[in-house]
Amino acid sequence: MNPYLYIPIALAGVLVIIVAVMIIRAIAAGKPDTESPSSADYGLDANQIADRLAQAVRIPTVSMVGNYKDNAEAFYDFRDFLEKTYPALNAAATRHIINGFSIVYEIKGSDPSLKPGAYLAHQDVVPAPAEGWEVPPFSGEIKDGFVYGRGSADMKGQLIALVEAVEELLKQGFVPKRDIFLCFGHDEEPMDSMEGAPKIAAWLKERGIELEFVVDEGGTILDGNLLGINNTVALIGTCEKGYCDYVLTCEKPGGHASNPARPSSLAILGKAIDKLERHPMKAKLTPVTKQTFKTLAPHMKFPLKFIFVNIDLLGWLIKPVMSLIPITNALIRTTFAPTMAKGSDTPNVIPPKSEANINCRILTGESVKEVADYIQKTVGPKIKVSYAESNEPTPVSSTDTDAYRNLISAISTSFPGLVTAPYMFIAADDAKYYAPVCKNIYRFTPFMMTLDDQKRIHAINERTGVQAMKDATVFFMNAIKKMC
């Protein structure tokens, strides 16, 4: 027999063994028990909570930058609203005003040997032109079971649910074991402002405070059917992608548009942008993303269960598929989003200088400089690549901590049957600034919103459900009791 025939036979045998092992692993994963005890609602009044959110929405705390740089009065009004609306909180806590507008409530615990915990939210909202809204954007109107208005979802809903929870617990006589900080920055929305959360974190560091945990917005609750799971899934952000706006510049003599010389600087720039979109950075299954899908895999149906239980072996098959879907593509690579471009200021002048902005969200394990080098190599020497404000990807917080386990317990108690998993947060929030004072930073938004509602954030007809506000308040009550 030809000895070379043994090679394909051997390869086939190895393949059979590998597939058998993968099937055994998938079967062994089983279907975990997702039953959780039903959550008590603590006798909360959903309509009262919704009304307080509506009042908060009516205070137009648009970030104080650009056209709204003189919007200070709204933040003073919001501060007064919190003081008048939540008397138990203001009686039990020491209120600190950081850098003029950010608010920190400090509640003392019974055991000074324990590190404090912190819950974050931001007061500011994005602007809201009135065109297209069903109701005025700062009316805080309640209709059809929803509170409408700018900031109702991002993120006054979460802020109000948090202070409602603290207020109710304090009225019930709850005394935390550890100190609690409620930290409300005032400039989370504009990416180039550093006057809120960074100043709060610096203030904590100056006082020598190291936090046991930080909980901020970020993780999402989504329909598990998107992942082949017959359940709702809660994703908890254990890290955050980096952020950088790269400016691509092309300079070439311009002139009158009646006598064009080809190619123009704008044409060269356009080709460079097209090349970036056609040649993205390499897809990578980071340890965090592998952990996400390994945690979710036991809950999935076949064949997804088979694939993701064996993600270490089948990464070559998974990455091309994930690359086709925007939301999963963002989990496996640094993304390039062309967002702004500028050429000439007049229609009949060929620009001597053309610029474009590429908004990048940088994958964990890569760096701002590494991405800049890749872009420069891809677009070529005719394009200059520069950048200014940026944030590197954050450290990854451990899931092997009491804080994380207690957070999971609070989620499971508040939303019975929910499947939970850690993941890499693909957007940005204030939590990253707390890394110098905390190792255990988690991002979770306790609202079950439809895809339609998610599309309303930063857009017209933003809203949050009346019942969802009550559920989120219950979550924060459970989280504080378990974590603090």
> Which residues are the active-site residues?
124, 188
CA dihedral 233, 234, 235, 237 (to 10 degrees): 180
As a whole number of angstroms, the longest Cα–Cα distance in the chain is 91
How far apart, in whole angstroms, are the C-alpha atoms of residue 103 and residue 101? 6
Write out the two tokens for 377. 């190599």
Q: How does DSSP assign 76-122, residue by residue?
A: HHHHHHHHHH-HHHHHHSEEEEETTTEEEEEE--S-TTSPPEEEEEE
Amino acid at 471: D
Dist CA 481 CA 381 (whole Å): 58
Task: Give the end-to-end CA distance of the chain in Å, rounded to a whole number.
Answer: 73
Q: What are the tokens at 420?
A: 């939970």
CA 167 to chain centre: 26
Nearest to 174 by CA among 114, 93, 119, 116: 93
| C-alpha span between 288 and 34 (Å, rounded) | 22
